[in-house]
Amino acid sequence: MTRGRAGDPDHGLELLWRAQERAPRPGLSLGRIVRAAIELADAEGLAGLSMRKVADRLGFTTMSLYRHVPGRDQLVDLMVDEVLSEHPDVAGDLPDSEGWRARLEAVARQAWRIRKSHPWLAEVRGTRHLPGPNGVAHYDYMLSTLTGTPLTPAEVIAAVGLVGRFVDAEALVLVETQREERRSGVPEEEWWGARDALYDRLDRYPTISYLWTAGGWDAPEDSFEFGLRRLLDGIETLINRRDENRDENQACEECGRPLEPATSGRPRVYCSRACQQRAYRKRKSS
């Protein structure tokens, strides 16, 4: 492999999906490179990651790494997919929970634990990072938690995306806190506790003063716990509203004939396989 292929997304995709299929070899290998890069990012954040530092950590030259991975961007994608293998749902170890909420909550909490172990995950920004097999398996499981509900397919995708972005947003706060603590050498709580010059000016603001006097900052809510509960509450409210308003005599989206209620699993959308195929061909042609 050459560095000239670093900008080829198809080559990056091939690298991601073939990484799991390769047997480990003695000496320098793609697996060793990815693990060393994860350890480096765990210690220094994504900003501290470079091909040179990974090579130094392994005791090889930088150029030797490029024989296995074309560049830093592809290495980050490989790191993300490797870390996502820690999800129990990817390994098939997540216990079966009854109800969509218990399942979605369990996978969100596991995602939070992984991001606390690897905060740099939240720093992987952008809309064009290719998913690997572990990432796709994890996403597929998250989608499956809501597919038996009255939500439409588009709403299932939107709800899962919302939960994922919430977890990443909370993890990004951890990243920023750790970055400032490393830069300054002062813990976050100690730094804010020394801001008396600011607090002396806040008594002119009535709402802040009221909440301060009422003890609003004495025992603050855990932002992840509070946010996850409210997010799941909102999804549950929408699902319950759909259950209440769902008409048992729904019509086929393709031909308009009445639908028989589904006995279990996903709600029916089409009255027959033929209607489903016709709708699929229309979507594909458009």
Residues 144 and 218 in one domain: yes
The fraction of the chain above a pLDDT of 70, given in percent, is: 85
Which of the listed residues 84, 108, 135 is the one where a domain comes to its end?
A: 84
Min mean pLDDT across 17-26, 80-89, 140-149, 221-230 is at 17-26
Residues 213 and 201 in one domain: yes
- pLDDT above 80 for 209: yes
Residues 93 and 136 in one domain: yes
Burial label for 268, CB within 10 Å (0-12, 13-18, 19+), is middle
Q: What is the CATH number of the domain that holds 51?
A: 1.10.10.60
pLDDT at residue number 102: 93
Q: Are 42 and 118 contacting, i.e. CB atoms less than 8 angstroms apart?
A: yes
pLDDT at residue number 123: 87
Question: Which parts of 173-257 are beta strand (E)?
Answer: none
- pLDDT above 80 for 220: yes
Residues 103 and 193 in one domain: yes
Helices 30-44 and 9-19 pack at an angle, to 10 degrees, of 100
pLDDT band at 2 (very low <50, low <70, confident <90, very high): very low
pLDDT at residue number 40: 95
Mark residue 2 as left, alpha or beta (left: phi above 0; alpha: psi -120 to 50; beta: remaining): beta
pLDDT band at 1 (very low <50, low <70, confident <90, very high): very low
- pLDDT above 70 for 73: yes
Total structural domains within the chain: 3
Residues 214 and 121 in one domain: yes
- pLDDT above 90 for 111: yes
* Tens digits of residue pLDDT in 230-263: 999 999 999 998 877 665 557 788 777 777 666 5
- pLDDT above 70 for 90: no
- pLDDT above 90 for 53: yes
Residues 176 and 201 in one domain: yes
The fraction of the chain above a pLDDT of 90, given in percent, is: 51
Residues 109 and 235 in one domain: yes
Which whole number is the average pLDDT over 26-53? 91
- Give 241's contacts (C-beta < 8 A, 6+ positions apart): none
Residues 222 and 124 in one domain: yes
- pLDDT above 90 for 179: no
Q: Are 77 and 18 contacting, i.e. CB atoms less than 8 angstroms apart?
A: no
The three-class DSSP label of residue 130 is coil
Return the top range by mean pLDDT from 7-21, 55-69, 233-247, 258-272: 55-69
Which whole number is the average pLDDT over 134-138? 92
- pLDDT above 90 for 268: no
Instruction: Compute the Cα dihedral for 256, 257, 260, 266 and give only its sign.
Output: negative
- 66 is in which domain, residue-wise? 3-84
Residues 153 and 217 in one domain: yes
pLDDT at residue number 11: 67
- pLDDT above 70 for 5: no
